[in-house]
Amino acid sequence: MNSLIDDVRKAAQSILSRIPLQQMLDINDIIWYFSEIRHQIEK
């Protein structure tokens, strides 16, 4: 299960690394989305 979370986190980081700075506000939504997914996985 932890490896799945790591894969999601790595995917998120690779996506976020391509996003320009003017879209940082959208990143907050993405981070929230991934944290929600992680809570569902951990249940």
pLDDT at position 24: 63
pLDDT at position 30: 82
pLDDT at position 21: 62
pLDDT at position 8: 87
Q: Provide the residue range defining the domain that includes 37.
A: 2-42
DSSP class per residue in 7-39: HHHHHHHHHHTTS-GGGHHHHHHHHHHHHHHHH
pLDDT digits (tens, 9 = 90+) for 2-38: 888 899 889 888 877 886 766 666 778 888 888 998 9
Q: How many domains does the chain have?
A: 1
Compute and round to an integer the Cα radius of gyration of the chain: 11
pLDDT at position 15: 79
pLDDT at position 29: 83
pLDDT at position 13: 84
